[in-house]
Amino acid sequence: MTLDLNLLATLPVLVPLLAAVVVLVVDAAVPGRRQPHLWLTAAGLLGGALAVLPGLAQPAGDARGAFCLATGQCLYTADRLTSVLQLTALAAAGVVLALAWGDWGGPSRTGRAPVVAALVLGATAGAAAVPAAGDLGTLLVALELATLPAVGLVALADPRWPAERRARSTEGAVALLMTSLVSFGLVALGAALWVAATGTALLSLPTTRDPVLLLLASVFILAGLGFKLSAVPFHAWTPVTYTTAPLPVTTYLATVSKAAALGAAVVLVRALGEVDETALLAVALMAALSMTVGNLVALVQVDTVRLLAWSTVAQAGWVLLPLASLSSRAVHAAGSYLVVYVLGTLLAFAVVVAVAETRGHDGGGAGTSLDAHAGLLRRRPLLALPLGLALLTLAGLPPAVVGLVAKVVALRPVAGDGTWWLAVVAALNVALGIAVYVRWLARVLGPAPVGAPEPVRVGAAGGGAAGAPARSGAGTDDEVRPAGGEPQGEAAPPHTPARVWVVVAVLTLLVVVWSISPVGIV
């Protein structure tokens, strides 16, 4: 049996992995360093991203294969869609790194930095590998490579946190792990059934197969992927883990992991899609349930992270939605939607992180509550506007046209297919979703709660007000009164580091540019 290695094509996966190895080696050689590991991580992610570019440039329909069998089937195939997903994962990981820089680069007795760096690199490499998987083995390995380090990331909370808080993050990690274990069990069973049904571990269907077994196999594998996408009913870990994990890690779970999961789903649906409508029904059901349940529960949340967690559940439904149709565009539509979703979610998380940091980073609770965002527009317009754009992108409303286009893209295959019930459910969920995000947005635009501590204004927003004597009410409903005239003990003025600003600015720019000219969608 000959195997045509074409390692060049696998560079997007290999580079981060190599970087991980380098990180570990460096740590072994020069223990106790922190920043170099993070820089190495950045370099690894960047290198991976650069390696994706040739894949992006190839014409539609072409694919770069590696580990190809004599029959021409490859165990690793990267066409344009795959490359897009890889790039998304790598770039999102980069953003997460930027957000977490201060956290991960902070002093730690246990030498956390290199471990975290290696975990991030490993998980990201896994996420990049999943969409390119050409057979079940690759898929299984890649999936677990994407999942297990992420569990580690959740568990490795900031050592500066109070013990109780760290204990909770461990609990979150356990929740994630348990679900992932069960899911993996299911996927493994599914893989076995797949082999039983088709007689091959390759993800391209032979002509002879056992339909019932294949169906069972696909359902089992779908369930496993559903867990990673946090689609209902495999979503239960999501709110727990999201709220307990450190915010950057949450961001990682919400973006990079999603890219990986979608990649796997795309691989599966590509293999199944043209023939098996029943599996599509399962996808449709998952999509509809995820949207509805996610939005409904998100509607009553009072914490931004929990809200985002449930919104992730809902958005998973949207990502799955196009896959429920037979259309050839479906997988591309799902990919496009995912990219936009990742963009919006990253931006939202970036702002949430920034706000939480200014509120004193005690690791959750008050800093991420919706109340912390009340009146943000008046207090910190430079954060509020990007947040607004992010929320509107997720909601799919102009002026964030890109979100709207994403919704259109996701709906199109379904509507074109004539699956009206699903389309109508989706349409209702657009409204529900808007209710979710607008509820948040209203807080951002609205008045600050009376008595809330007045944070120091940043940017050019005339900041002289904080210490000034109580201003006259003068009819401004948005008046923020200094609480009791007491300085509230915020000795260290909250400071949003430059890297967060850069991240916010770049992402905002991306949203705006894409809103004006949504190139590359589908």
Partner 1 sequence: MIRPALPYLLVAVLAGLGVYGILARRHAVLVLIGVELLLGAAGLLLVTVGQTTTATDPAAATSGQVLTLFVITIAAAEVVLALALILALFRARGHVDLHADLDPREEAAR
Partner 2 sequence: MTDSLRTAVRQAVDLVPDLGTWWLALALAPLLLAAVTLLAAGRWGEEPGYRSVRTVSVGAAILSAVGVAGTSLHRPRLELPWIDGLGVWLRLGADGLSIPLLLLTALVGVVAVSLHLHVPQPHRPEAPDEEGIATTSPIPVVRGTDVPGLATYHACLLLVVLGALVAFLAGDAILFFVGLELVLVPMWVLVARYGDPGARREGAALRFLLVTVVGSTLMLVGLLGVATLVGTSDLSVWAAQGGAGLEPRTQVVLAAILLLGLGIKVPVFPLHTWLPWVHSTAPTAASVLLAAVLLKLGTYGMVRLVVPVVPDGFSALAPVLGGLGTVGIIWASLACLVEEDLKRLVAWSSVAHLGFVVLGLSTGTQTGLQAALFGNVAHGLISALLFVVVGGLKHRWGDARFTVARAALRETTPHLGAALVLGMAASMGLPGLAGFWAEIGAIYSAWAPADDRPDGWFRLFAALAAVGGALAVAYSARVLHEVWSGDRLEPRVPDAVRTERYALRTLGALVLAVGVLPMLLLAVTAPVTELVVGR
Partner 3 sequence: MSVVDWPDLTWSDLQLPSLPALPQISIPGLSVPDFWGAPMQWLVLVPALAALAGITLSGRSNRLAAWIAVGGGIVTWLASLWQLRVLLAVDGHHASGSVGPLPLGELDVPLGLAVTWPLALVAATVATVALVVQVYSRWYLWYDPKYPAFAATVSVFTAAMLLTVVADDVILLVVGWEVMGWCSYLLIGHHSTKTAARRAALKALVVTRTADVGFVLGMVMLAAGARTTSVSGIVEHWAAEAPTRGLVLALVLVVVGVAGKSATFPFQDWLPDAMEGPTPASALIHAATMVAAGTVVLVHLFDLLAVTGPARVLLALLASVTLLGGAVMAFAQADLKRLLAWSTVSQVALMLAVLAAATPHTGPDAAAEHLVAHAWFKALLFLATGWLAVLVGGTAMTTVASGARRYRVLRRRFAWGLLALAGVPPFVGFFSKELILGTAESAATGSGGLASVVVLSAVGASAPLTAAYCMRAWLVLDRPTQIEQHAVTYQQEPVERIDDFFDEPQVVHEAEGLERAESAISSSARSGTTLLAAMTLLGSLVALLPVWRVDVHLNLQLLVATLLLMVVAALAVRLAARGVRTRDAAARIPARASLAAERGLGADYAYRLLVATPVVALARAVTWFDREVLDAWVRGAGAGSRLLGQAGELLTPRRATPALALVLGGVLVLAALGVVSR
Residue numbers at the binding site for partner 3 (CB under 8 A)? 174-175, 178-179, 182-183, 186, 211-212, 215-216, 219-220, 222-223, 226-227, 232-234, 236-237, 239-240, 278-279, 281-282, 285-286, 293, 296-301, 432, 435
Which residues of the shown chain bind partner 1 in the complex (CB under 8 A)? 71, 135-137, 140-141, 144, 148, 151-152, 155, 163, 166-168, 170-175, 177-178, 181-182, 184-186, 188-189, 191-193, 195-196, 199-202, 239-240, 243-244, 301-303, 306, 364-365, 369
What is d(CA 253, CA 93) in angstroms, rounded to the nearest whole number? 10
Q: What is the biggest distance separating any 2 CA atoms in the chain, rounded to whole angstroms?
A: 84
Element at 221 (helix H, strand E): helix 211-229
C-beta of 61: minimal distance to partner 2 in Å?
A: 15
Phi, psi of 65 (to 5 degrees): -105, 155
18 vs 181, which CB is nearer to partner 1? 181
C-beta of 329: minimal distance to partner 3 in Å?
A: 24
What is d(CA 330, CA 283) in angstroms, rounded to the nearest whole number? 12
Which residues of the shown chain bind partner 2 in the complex (CB under 8 A)? 327, 332, 336, 377, 381, 385, 392, 397-399, 401, 404-405, 407-409, 411-412, 414-418, 420, 423-424, 426-428, 430-431, 434-435, 438-439, 442, 445-446, 459-462, 475-478, 517-522
When computed from its CA atoms, the radius of gyration of the chain, rounded to whole angstroms, is 23
Contact of 85 with 97, CB cutoff 8 Å: no
C-beta of 293: minimal distance to partner 3 in Å?
A: 6
C-beta of 159: minimal distance to partner 1 in Å?
A: 13
200 vs 488, which CB is nearer to partner 1? 200
**What sign results for the dihedral spanned by CA atoms 251, 252, 253, 255?**
positive
C-beta of 114: minimal distance to partner 3 in Å?
A: 30
Q: Rounded to 5 degrees, what angle do the CA atoms 445, 446, 449 make? A: 130
C-beta of 180: minimal distance to partner 3 in Å?
A: 10
211 makes contact, choosing from partner 1, partner 3, partner 2, none, with CB < 5 to 8 Å by partner type, with partner 3
**What sign results for the dihedral spanned by CA atoms 4, 5, 9, 13?**
positive
- One-character DSSP codes across 357-399: HHT--SSSSGGGBGGGGTTHHHH-HHHHHHHHHHHHHHHT-TT
451 vs 487, which CB is nearer to partner 1? 451
What is d(CA 121, CA 14) in angstroms, rounded to the nearest whole number? 10
C-beta of 382: minimal distance to partner 2 in Å?
A: 9
What is d(CA 157, CA 167) in angstroms, rounded to the nearest whole number? 9
6 vs 200, which CB is nearer to partner 1? 200
466 makes contact, choosing from partner 2, partner 1, partner 3, none, with CB < 5 to 8 Å by partner type, with none
Q: Please give the distance of CA 70 from its chain centroid, rounded to a whole number.
A: 37
